[in-house]
Protein backbone atom coordinates (compact mmCIF):
# COMPACT_ATOMS: atom_id res chain seq x y z
CA UNK A 1 0.00 0.00 0.00
CA UNK A 2 1.41 3.40 -0.90
CA UNK A 3 1.88 6.02 1.76
CA UNK A 4 -0.88 8.03 0.13
CA UNK A 5 -3.31 5.13 0.32
CA UNK A 6 -2.30 4.31 3.87
CA UNK A 7 -2.97 7.89 4.82
CA UNK A 8 -6.40 7.95 3.20
CA UNK A 9 -7.40 4.69 4.90
CA UNK A 10 -6.43 5.80 8.41
CA UNK A 11 -9.30 6.40 10.87
CA UNK A 12 -8.72 10.14 11.25
CA UNK A 13 -9.30 11.04 7.56
CA UNK A 14 -12.35 8.76 7.45
CA UNK A 15 -13.72 10.51 10.53
CA UNK A 16 -12.98 13.82 8.83
CA UNK A 17 -14.92 12.72 5.74
CA UNK A 18 -17.89 11.66 7.87
CA UNK A 19 -17.90 14.97 9.69
CA UNK A 20 -17.51 16.85 6.42
CA UNK A 21 -20.61 15.13 5.03
CA UNK A 22 -22.46 15.84 8.26
CA UNK A 23 -21.58 19.51 8.12
CA UNK A 24 -22.84 19.78 4.53
CA UNK A 25 -26.31 18.85 5.72
CA UNK A 26 -26.19 21.01 8.83
CA UNK A 27 -27.85 24.41 8.79
CA UNK A 28 -26.39 27.34 10.68
CA UNK A 29 -29.25 27.07 13.18
CA UNK A 30 -28.52 23.37 13.78
CA UNK A 31 -24.82 24.12 14.12
CA UNK A 32 -25.46 26.70 16.84
CA UNK A 33 -27.99 24.40 18.55
CA UNK A 34 -25.47 21.56 18.68
CA UNK A 35 -22.78 23.78 20.21
CA UNK A 36 -25.15 25.40 22.72
CA UNK A 37 -26.56 22.00 23.79
CA UNK A 38 -23.03 20.69 24.24
CA UNK A 39 -22.03 23.55 26.49
CA UNK A 40 -25.28 23.51 28.44
CA UNK A 41 -24.70 19.84 29.24
CA UNK A 42 -20.95 20.00 29.81
CA UNK A 43 -20.48 23.45 31.29
CA UNK A 44 -23.75 24.27 33.09
CA UNK A 45 -21.94 26.73 35.34
CA UNK A 46 -19.88 29.24 33.38
CA UNK A 47 -18.62 32.35 35.14
CA UNK A 48 -15.77 34.81 35.02
CA UNK A 49 -12.63 33.69 36.82
CA UNK A 50 -11.93 37.24 37.97
CA UNK A 51 -12.56 37.64 41.70
CA UNK A 52 -14.78 40.62 42.58
CA UNK A 53 -17.48 41.71 45.00
CA UNK A 54 -19.23 44.55 43.19
CA UNK A 55 -19.32 46.47 39.87
CA UNK A 56 -16.42 48.72 40.95
CA UNK A 57 -14.16 45.75 41.67
CA UNK A 58 -15.13 43.98 38.44
CA UNK A 59 -14.39 47.12 36.43
CA UNK A 60 -10.96 47.52 38.04
CA UNK A 61 -10.15 43.82 37.56
CA UNK A 62 -11.29 43.86 33.93
CA UNK A 63 -9.21 46.94 33.11
CA UNK A 64 -6.20 45.20 34.67
CA UNK A 65 -6.87 41.97 32.77
CA UNK A 66 -6.08 43.41 29.32
CA UNK A 67 -3.11 41.40 27.97
CA UNK A 68 -2.80 39.70 31.36
CA UNK A 69 -4.07 36.45 32.87
CA UNK A 70 -7.01 36.43 35.29
CA UNK A 71 -4.80 34.47 37.68
CA UNK A 72 -2.23 37.26 37.82
CA UNK A 73 -4.96 39.90 38.20
CA UNK A 74 -6.51 37.94 41.09
CA UNK A 75 -3.14 37.91 42.86
CA UNK A 76 -2.98 41.70 42.56
CA UNK A 77 -6.46 43.01 43.27
CA UNK A 78 -6.94 42.08 46.96
CA UNK A 79 -4.31 44.61 48.05
CA UNK A 80 -5.75 47.28 45.74
CA UNK A 81 -9.30 46.73 47.01
CA UNK A 82 -8.08 46.81 50.61
CA UNK A 83 -6.43 50.20 50.18
CA UNK A 84 -9.02 51.58 47.74
CA UNK A 85 -12.33 49.89 48.62
CA UNK A 86 -14.42 52.22 46.48
CA UNK A 87 -14.22 54.49 43.48
CA UNK A 88 -14.14 57.66 45.61
CA UNK A 89 -10.95 56.58 47.39
CA UNK A 90 -9.37 55.40 44.15
CA UNK A 91 -10.08 58.79 42.56
CA UNK A 92 -7.90 60.42 45.23
CA UNK A 93 -4.93 58.08 44.65
CA UNK A 94 -1.74 59.52 43.22
CA UNK A 95 0.19 57.73 40.48
CA UNK A 96 3.05 56.86 42.84
CA UNK A 97 0.60 55.48 45.42
CA UNK A 98 -1.13 53.11 43.05
CA UNK A 99 1.70 52.10 40.74
CA UNK A 100 3.47 49.73 43.20
CA UNK A 101 0.30 47.62 43.42
CA UNK A 102 0.17 47.19 39.67
CA UNK A 103 3.83 46.93 38.71
CA UNK A 104 3.76 43.13 38.33
CA UNK A 105 1.00 43.36 35.70
CA UNK A 106 1.48 44.08 32.00
CA UNK A 107 1.47 47.79 31.00
CA UNK A 108 1.54 49.01 34.63
CA UNK A 109 2.03 52.72 33.86
CA UNK A 110 -0.90 52.92 31.47
CA UNK A 111 -3.13 50.86 33.72
CA UNK A 112 -2.29 53.01 36.75
CA UNK A 113 -3.23 56.15 34.79
CA UNK A 114 -6.37 54.50 33.45
CA UNK A 115 -7.60 53.38 36.87
CA UNK A 116 -7.14 56.83 38.41
CA UNK A 117 -8.70 58.49 35.34
CA UNK A 118 -11.61 56.04 35.37
CA UNK A 119 -12.29 56.68 39.07
CA UNK A 120 -12.21 60.45 38.61
CA UNK A 121 -14.60 60.33 35.69
CA UNK A 122 -17.02 58.02 37.53
CA UNK A 123 -17.03 60.41 40.52
CA UNK A 124 -17.38 63.59 38.44
CA UNK A 125 -19.64 62.44 35.63
CA UNK A 126 -21.62 59.54 37.08
CA UNK A 127 -22.01 60.63 40.72
CA UNK A 128 -19.71 57.87 41.93
CA UNK A 129 -21.80 55.04 40.49
CA UNK A 130 -20.32 52.70 37.89
CA UNK A 131 -22.44 53.25 34.76
CA UNK A 132 -24.07 50.17 33.30
CA UNK A 133 -24.39 50.79 29.58
CA UNK A 134 -21.71 49.98 27.02
CA UNK A 135 -21.81 53.53 25.64
CA UNK A 136 -21.31 55.16 29.05
CA UNK A 137 -18.62 52.73 30.16
CA UNK A 138 -16.67 53.36 26.96
CA UNK A 139 -16.36 57.02 27.94
CA UNK A 140 -14.11 55.98 30.84
CA UNK A 141 -10.31 55.89 30.50
CA UNK A 142 -9.01 52.36 29.90
CA UNK A 143 -12.43 51.00 28.96
CA UNK A 144 -12.90 49.74 25.42
CA UNK A 145 -15.79 47.82 23.93
CA UNK A 146 -14.55 44.47 25.24
CA UNK A 147 -14.29 45.68 28.85
CA UNK A 148 -17.69 47.41 28.66
CA UNK A 149 -19.25 44.22 27.28
CA UNK A 150 -17.72 42.14 30.09
CA UNK A 151 -18.97 44.45 32.85
CA UNK A 152 -22.53 44.81 31.53
CA UNK A 153 -22.76 41.12 30.73
CA UNK A 154 -21.38 39.80 34.02
CA UNK A 155 -23.07 42.29 36.36
CA UNK A 156 -26.34 42.83 34.56
CA UNK A 157 -26.60 39.80 32.23
CA UNK A 158 -27.07 42.20 29.32
CA UNK A 159 -26.89 40.38 25.97
CA UNK A 160 -23.43 41.73 25.13
CA UNK A 161 -20.60 39.55 23.83
CA UNK A 162 -17.03 40.46 24.78
CA UNK A 163 -14.71 39.07 22.13
CA UNK A 164 -11.25 38.37 23.50
CA UNK A 165 -8.54 36.24 21.91
CA UNK A 166 -10.21 32.97 23.04
CA UNK A 167 -13.70 33.87 21.81
CA UNK A 168 -12.24 35.09 18.51
CA UNK A 169 -10.23 31.89 17.93
CA UNK A 170 -12.72 29.31 19.20
CA UNK A 171 -15.80 30.69 17.46
CA UNK A 172 -13.92 30.71 14.15
CA UNK A 173 -12.50 27.23 14.63
CA UNK A 174 -15.87 25.71 15.44
CA UNK A 175 -17.33 27.57 12.49
CA UNK A 176 -19.82 29.66 14.44
CA UNK A 177 -18.57 32.68 12.51
CA UNK A 178 -17.14 32.79 9.00
CA UNK A 179 -13.39 33.03 8.46
CA UNK A 180 -14.06 36.36 6.76
CA UNK A 181 -15.04 37.90 10.12
CA UNK A 182 -11.74 39.72 10.49
CA UNK A 183 -12.26 41.86 13.59
CA UNK A 184 -13.54 41.27 17.13
CA UNK A 185 -16.51 43.50 16.32
CA UNK A 186 -17.41 41.40 13.26
CA UNK A 187 -17.25 38.23 15.39
CA UNK A 188 -19.32 39.90 18.12
CA UNK A 189 -22.06 40.86 15.66
CA UNK A 190 -22.22 37.36 14.17
CA UNK A 191 -22.44 35.64 17.57
CA UNK A 192 -25.07 38.08 18.84
CA UNK A 193 -27.13 37.47 15.73
CA UNK A 194 -27.18 33.69 16.20
CA UNK A 195 -27.17 32.98 19.94
CA UNK A 196 -30.50 33.25 21.80
CA UNK A 197 -30.47 36.54 23.73
CA UNK A 198 -30.95 34.93 27.15
CA UNK A 199 -27.83 32.78 26.65
CA UNK A 200 -25.42 35.39 25.32
CA UNK A 201 -23.90 36.29 28.69
CA UNK A 202 -23.27 32.60 29.36
CA UNK A 203 -21.99 31.83 25.87
CA UNK A 204 -19.25 34.40 26.40
CA UNK A 205 -17.87 32.33 29.29
CA UNK A 206 -18.38 29.03 27.46
CA UNK A 207 -16.18 30.17 24.61
CA UNK A 208 -13.54 31.75 26.85
CA UNK A 209 -13.26 28.74 29.16
CA UNK A 210 -13.26 26.30 26.24
CA UNK A 211 -10.44 28.28 24.65
CA UNK A 212 -8.51 28.54 27.89
CA UNK A 213 -8.63 24.85 28.87
CA UNK A 214 -9.50 22.73 25.80
CA UNK A 215 -9.26 24.51 22.47
CA UNK A 216 -5.79 25.89 23.19
CA UNK A 217 -4.21 28.24 20.67
CA UNK A 218 -1.23 26.04 19.75
CA UNK A 219 -2.33 22.51 20.56
CA UNK A 220 -6.10 22.19 20.86
CA UNK A 221 -7.09 19.11 22.87
CA UNK A 222 -9.48 17.77 20.23
CA UNK A 223 -9.40 14.29 21.77
CA UNK A 224 -11.10 15.70 24.86
CA UNK A 225 -13.61 17.80 22.95
CA UNK A 226 -17.18 16.78 22.18
CA UNK A 227 -17.47 19.32 19.37
CA UNK A 228 -15.41 17.36 16.85
CA UNK A 229 -18.35 16.41 14.69
CA UNK A 230 -19.34 20.02 14.03
CA UNK A 231 -15.94 21.71 14.29
CA UNK A 232 -14.69 23.08 10.98
CA UNK A 233 -11.08 23.21 12.17
CA UNK A 234 -11.13 19.57 13.28
CA UNK A 235 -12.65 18.46 10.01
CA UNK A 236 -10.11 20.38 8.00
CA UNK A 237 -7.19 19.01 10.02
CA UNK A 238 -8.48 15.45 9.62
CA UNK A 239 -9.67 15.59 6.04
CA UNK A 240 -8.28 13.10 3.52
CA UNK A 241 -6.42 15.89 1.73
CA UNK A 242 -4.39 16.80 4.78
S1 LIG B 1 -12.52 19.85 18.05
FE2 LIG B 1 -10.51 20.72 18.54
S3 LIG B 1 -10.36 22.61 17.34
FE4 LIG B 1 -12.53 22.00 17.42
S5 LIG B 1 -13.38 23.10 19.16
FE6 LIG B 1 -12.76 21.10 19.89
S7 LIG B 1 -10.67 21.42 20.66
FE8 LIG B 1 -11.17 23.16 19.35
Q: Is residue 90 part of a domain?
A: yes
User: Could you give phi then psi for residue 107, rounded to 5 degrees?
Assistant: 50, 55
Domain assignment present for 165: no
Note the helical H segments in the chain.
3-9, 11-24, 28-42, 55-64, 70-83, 87-91, 95-102, 108-125, 134-137, 145-156, 165-174, 184-194, 200-213, 232-237
pLDDT value at residue 20: 52
| Residues 76-131 pLDDT 10s | 999 999 999 999 999 999 999 999 999 999 999 999 999 999 999 999 999 999 99
| CA-based nearest residue to 52, from 19, 85, 14, 99 | 85
Which residue of the set 103, 127, 164, 202 is catalytic? Answer: 164
Tell me whether residue 177 is in a domain.
Answer: no
Determine the distance separating the centroid of ligand 1 and the alpha carbon of 213, expressed in angstroms.
11
Q: What is the CATH number of the domain that holds 66?
A: 1.10.340.30
Which residue in 53, 90, 87, 48 sits closest to 69, CA to CA? 48
Domain count, the chain: 1
Per-residue pLDDT tens digits for 117-166? 999 999 999 999 999 999 999 999 999 999 999 999 999 999 999 999 99
Residue 24 is predicted with a pLDDT of 52
Domain-embedded: residue 69: yes
Quote the pLDDT of residue 18.
52
Query: Which atom belonging to ligand 1 lies closest to the Cα atom of 233?
Result: 3
Catalytic, 146? Answer: yes
pTM: 0.86
The residue range of the domain holding 151 is 55-156
> Tens digit of pLDDT for each residue in 172-187?
999 999 999 999 999 9
Q: Is residue 3 part of a domain?
A: no
Report pLDDT for 239.
81
- What's the whole-number average pLDDT of the chain? 91
**Residue 164 annotated as catalytic:** yes
pLDDT of amino acid 234: 96
Give yes or no for residue 1 having a pLDDT over 60: no
Q: How far is the CA of 230 from the centre of ligand 1 (A)?
A: 9
Residue 197 located in a structural domain: no
Measured in angstroms, how far is the CA atom of residue 128 from the centroid of ligand 1? 44
Contact at 8 Å (CB) between 93 and 101?
Answer: no
Q: Which of 37, 54, 146, 235 is catalytic?
A: 146
The atom of ligand 1 lying closest to the CA of 228 is 1
Q: Evaluate whether residue 151 is within a structural domain.
A: yes
Residue 25 is predicted with a pLDDT of 59
Taking CB atoms and a 6 Å cutoff, what residues make up the pocket around ligand 1?
Answer: 173-174, 214-215, 220-222, 225, 227-228, 231, 233-234
Alpha-carbon span 116 to 111, nearest angstrom: 9
With respect to residue 88, please indicate whether it lies within any of the assigned structural domains. yes
The yes-or-no verdict on residue 11 having pLDDT over 90 is no
Amino acid sequence: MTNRLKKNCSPAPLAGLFYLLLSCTMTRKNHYSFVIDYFEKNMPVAETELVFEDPYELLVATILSAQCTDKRVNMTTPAIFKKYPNVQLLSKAGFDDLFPFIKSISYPSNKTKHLIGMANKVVEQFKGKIPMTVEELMQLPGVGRKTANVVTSVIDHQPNMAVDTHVFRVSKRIGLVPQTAATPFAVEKELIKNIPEALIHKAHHWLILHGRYVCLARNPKCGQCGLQEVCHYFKKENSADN
